[in-house]
């Protein structure tokens, strides 16, 4: 039996190239008029392509009708990053963070709607966390994941959770979208996220996001300790150390 010809037709290739052109333009333009001008395509063509891209999660439109790269664009960007190079750039800052706090330090990168641990430095205490480099954990139950989610709109967060669900890891894990969104709102206001035994019982973790040169969060850094080792009185200084490390790592990666 003859093998069917899977070669795209000229019209299919043309449509694909137009879609890619619009995707590229969204990286530096957010208005329909600017996107039309940047691509050389008509308003109606760009609007139709954007509608298809938005439905597929490649772009999204905010309340001011501006277009931005969507979750799938960010997922691909994450896959293209060299995690080993990220760890190399981040290592001095992670070492300094462990020295300052004495706690376990994690560097996590978001891949396919999960946090994947790219580096782990054990703390000075005798307790050893269950986490491991290469292991993945949900966004909604970790301080790194929540620090990343806090950089997104509530609509984007909801889209992610529709795909992943809200798996119950411990009794402290958020059970509803409403409680998570309230947590993310508090995270945005103070500039760092906290995990209160939501991914591992008895542990308290503080995390902050790391961003690329365009200001997009793609991962984060955190410190973790047993609850009694990180009482409320230590939260502010620990959070200051974590956010400083996140800023330094972001700056190092942007300058590389």
Q: What is the pLDDT of residue 173?
A: 96
- pLDDT tens-place string over residues 180-222: 999 999 999 999 999 999 999 999 999 999 998 888 899 999 9
Range from 10-24, 95-109, 113-127 carrying the lowest mean pLDDT: 10-24
Q: What are the domain boundaries of the chain?
A: 10-69, 77-255
Cβ-in-10-Å burial (0-12, 13-18, 19+) of 77 comes to: middle
Report pLDDT for 114: 92
- Per-residue pLDDT tens digits for 219-252: 999 999 999 999 999 999 999 999 999 999 999 9
pLDDT at 27: 81
pLDDT at 8 over 90: no
Whole-number mean pLDDT of the chain?
88
CATH superfamily of the 77-255 domain: GAF domain (3.30.450.40)
Using pLDDT thresholds of 50, 70 and 90, give the confidence band for residue 64. Answer: confident
Please list, residue by residue across 14-23, b when 16 or more beta carbons sit within 10 angstroms of its beta carbon and e when fewer do.
eeeebbebbb
Q: What is the token pair recorded at 112?
A: 């396919």
Helix (H, G, I), strand (E, B) or coil at 64: coil
Q: 111 has which bridge partners?
A: 114
Residue 113, sorted as left (phi over 0), alpha (psi -120 to 50) or beta, turns out to be left
Average pLDDT over residues 103-107: 96
Strand-pair category, 217-226 with 104-111: antiparallel
Residue 175 predicted with pLDDT over 80:
yes
Topology at the third CATH level for domain 10-69: Arc Repressor Mutant, subunit A (1.10.10)
- Give the position of tokens 């995990």: 195
Q: Report the interhelical angle of 232-255 vs 83-101 (nearest 10°).
A: 150
Q: Residue 45 CA to chain centroid, in angstroms? A: 31
């Amino acid at each position: 039996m003859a093998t069917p010809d899977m070669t795209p037709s000229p019209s299919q290739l043309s449509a694909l190239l137009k879609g890619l052109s619009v995707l590229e333009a969204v990286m530096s333009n957010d208005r329909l008029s600017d996107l039309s001008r940047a691509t050389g395509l008509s308003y109606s063509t760009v609007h139709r392509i954007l509608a298809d891209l938005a439905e597929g999660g490649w772009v999204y439109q905010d309340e001011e009708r501006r277009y931005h790269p969507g979750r799938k664009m960010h997922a691909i960007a994450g896959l293209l990053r060299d995690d080993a190079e990220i760890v190399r750039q981040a290592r001095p800052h992670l070492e300094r963070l462990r020295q300052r706090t004495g706690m376990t330090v994690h560097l996590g990168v978001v891949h396919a709607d999960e946090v994947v641990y790219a580096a782990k430095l054990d703390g000075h205490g005798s307790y050893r966390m269950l986490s491991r480099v290469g292991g993945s954990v949900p966004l909604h139950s970790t301080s790194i994941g929540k620090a990343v989610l806090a950089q997104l709109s509530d609509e984007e967060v909801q889209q992610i959770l529709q795909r992943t669900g809200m798996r119950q890891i411990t009794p402290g894990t958020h059970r509803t979208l409403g409680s998570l969104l309230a947590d993310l709102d508090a995270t945005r206001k103070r500039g760092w996220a906290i995990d209160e035994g939501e991914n591992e019982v008895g542990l308290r973790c503080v995390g902050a996001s790391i961003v690329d040169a365009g200001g997009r969060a793609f991962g984060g850094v955190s410190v973790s300790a047993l609850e009694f080792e990180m009482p409320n009185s230590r939260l502010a200084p620990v959070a200051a150390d974590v956010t400083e490390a996140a800023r330094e790592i972001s700056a190092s990666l942007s300058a590389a």
